[in-house]
Structure 1
Amino acid sequence: MTAGESAGVRLTVLGGCGAWPAAGQACSGYLVAYDGFRVLIDPGYATLPRLLASTAAEEVDAVLVSHGHPDHCADLNPLLRARVLGAAPPPALPVYAPPGALDAVLALDRPAMLAGGVELLELTPGRPCEVGPFRLDAWSLPHHVPNAGLRLTGGGRVIAYTGDTGPADELVDLARDADLLLAEATYPEWVPEEDARHLSTAADAGRTASSAGAARLLLTHLWPDTPHEPALDAASRSYTGHLAVATAGHTVHL
């Protein structure tokens, strides 16, 4: 454990692209560290190489997956391979996800390959649990597949994460007084009609952060290769706090 790890809660963005990774980028992936404990949130496409640039696979203590779309969980497979195929495999990795969300990604290998390498734990809205030094709360939020909004509390700090979600009253409770709201913002101001119930905008994220009193807002899951300025402008119309876009390497110290 380094001095930086013990000083406070730290979130490092591994990737923030929605749908697929743009050139040189990665999809959703966020590493949260506190008191020597490391939680990986949403190991989406291309996040593992970025993780391994600073953290060995066996140093990940737990994984949280908001939902089963591959841009949020595909790199769980190579992460588990890196752990179980190493010279000294670590204990099974606790992985929290909605029921059935990881069936497809875990089926990429024969069961014997990953045997003993993963402990699946279901995220249950309304039933908090302890993940290392953190309290984890989950909310059921609307998306094309079951999606869990996540709230991590530890070290006197709160990180709230929406996963991918359409409009929902519960978002304000999820983000209430959070030190950091990490919010899906696929589009700047409007979502195409066919996805309007399942995805959000930067403008939506700004309104949620303002209503919830979140201290910081980090916009993520922007459509690949789109400029950041329209999203930042849309969110800033209702939110006046610290605002940024999640890009690989961006670190927030809380």
Structure 2
Amino acid sequence: MRLTVLGGCGAWPTALEACSGYLVEHEGFSLLVDPGYATFPRLLRYGDADTVDAVLVSHGHPDHCADLHPLLRARALSDAPPAPLPVHAPHGALDAVLALDRPGMLAGAYRRHDFTPGDRFEIGPFTVSTRLLPHFVPNAGLRIATPDAVLAYTGDTGPSDEIARLAEGADVFLSEATYVHQVPEADARYLLTARLAGRYATRAGVARLLLTHLWPGTDPATAHAAAAELFAGPVAVAAPDLVLGVGTAAPQRGPRHPA
């Protein structure tokens, strides 16, 4: 399994970084996870819109799903539209994004597969197990597995014992880390810190921790250091064009097909 980071910025994109977006590939199948703000242009560094085989969304906040819209437009309005794109998301999570165009305009561009967090299903070569994790809206933690590798991803979440269960023994634990040491009191039930991500990584016995969804302007080195206080294994911060071989290879940088 190969993981490519398209973006890992929380809340809104910056001039240099897109919001959450991850390309997960195995056996020639490309799964786009959380196409947040500004991820579609990053995706085009790796292939055309029609090279995506399926989309999987953790929750309905726009920094995790807004760029599904340009992706579907690019497919629907091309000279030779590809087959409808399977799109998997919690019930109702994509209603706002899919309503941006006139009714019916994108209807032939996608096939909707709504699920309830807690469900387990197959997408191409991947087995996806989901868990309900606490956030401002229903959020599905995602465990994406092949026979040889496991990627666990929190989406956005607050503290929960379910996080360690989701990530148990994962090769890569992709964890939200909006703040470094402390979440503001009003949001403490719904978001994590880099330090907490390190604690959950240790509890789950993961092989590698990858921090994501940092608040814009956060120093990645500070987040890295906070996580490493509680997790002794390899720690990295999700950055554009970071490529990881999940379960097999060390991190590599750089797009495979530069624009």
User: Normalising TM by the smaller chain, what interval?
Assistant: over 0.9
For 1:167 and 1:29, locate their aligned partners in 2 and report how far apart those are by CA, in whole Å. 22
Deviation at 1:126, TM superposition (A): 3.3
For 1:125 and 1:144, locate their aligned partners in 2 and report how far apart those are by CA, in whole Å. 14
- 1:231 matched to 2:216? The reply is no
For 1:105 and 1:206, locate their aligned partners in 2 and report how far apart those are by CA, in whole Å. 33
Does the residue aligned with 1:15 lie in a helix, a strand or coil? strand
1:164 counterpart residue number:
156
- 1:88 matched to 2:76? The reply is no
Does the residue aligned with 1:77 lie in a helix, a strand or coil? helix
Counterpart pick for 1:29 among 21, 34, 46 = 21
Does the residue aligned with 1:150 lie in a helix, a strand or coil? strand
1:6 counterpart residue number:
none
> Number of matched residues?
246
TM-score, length basis structure 1: 0.95
Does the residue aligned with 2:75 lie in a helix, a strand or coil? helix
User: Superposition pairs for residues 42-61 of structure 1, below 5 Å?
Assistant: 42-61=34-53
- 1:243 matched to 2:238? The reply is no
5+ long unaligned stretches in structure 2 = 247-259
1:180 counterpart residue number:
172
CA offset digits 1:105-130 (Å, max 9, x no partner) = 11101122102111111223333111
For 2:54 and 2:193, locate their aligned partners in 1 and report how far apart those are by CA, in whole Å. 29
- 1:17 matched to 2:9? The reply is yes
Structure 2 contact 8–239 (Cα < 8 Å) conserved: yes
For 2:115 and 2:31, locate their aligned partners in 1 and report how far apart those are by CA, in whole Å. 15
Counterpart pick for 2:109 among 89, 111, 117 = 117
Deviation at 1:155, TM superposition (A): 4.2
5+ long unaligned stretches in structure 1 = 1-8
Does the residue aligned with 1:183 lie in a helix, a strand or coil? strand
CA gap 1:98/1:46 in 2 versus in 1, 3 angstroms? same
Aligned alpha-carbon RMSD (Å): 0.8
For 1:133 and 1:124, locate their aligned partners in 2 and report how far apart those are by CA, in whole Å. 21
For 2:120 and 2:103, locate their aligned partners in 1 and report how far apart those are by CA, in whole Å. 30
CA offset digits 1:166-215 (Å, max 9, x no partner) = 00110011000000000000001110000000000001110111110110
2:99 counterpart residue number:
107
1:201 counterpart residue number:
193
For 1:54 and 1:170, locate their aligned partners in 2 and report how far apart those are by CA, in whole Å. 33
CA gap 1:148/1:126 in 2 versus in 1, 3 angstroms? closer
Structure 2 contact 17–240 (Cα < 8 Å) conserved: yes
Among the aligned pairs, what percent are the same residue?
62
Does the residue aligned with 1:160 lie in a helix, a strand or coil? strand
Counterpart pick for 2:183 among 191, 207, 222 = 191
For 1:127 and 1:232, locate their aligned partners in 2 and report how far apart those are by CA, in whole Å. 32
- 1:217 matched to 2:209? The reply is yes
CA offset digits 1:68-92 (Å, max 9, x no partner) = 1110000000000011111111111
CA offset digits 1:146-172 (Å, max 9, x no partner) = 100001001410000000000011001
1:66 counterpart residue number:
58
Structure 1 contact 44–75 (Cα < 8 Å) conserved: yes
2:256 counterpart residue number:
none
Structure 1 contact 45–73 (Cα < 8 Å) conserved: yes
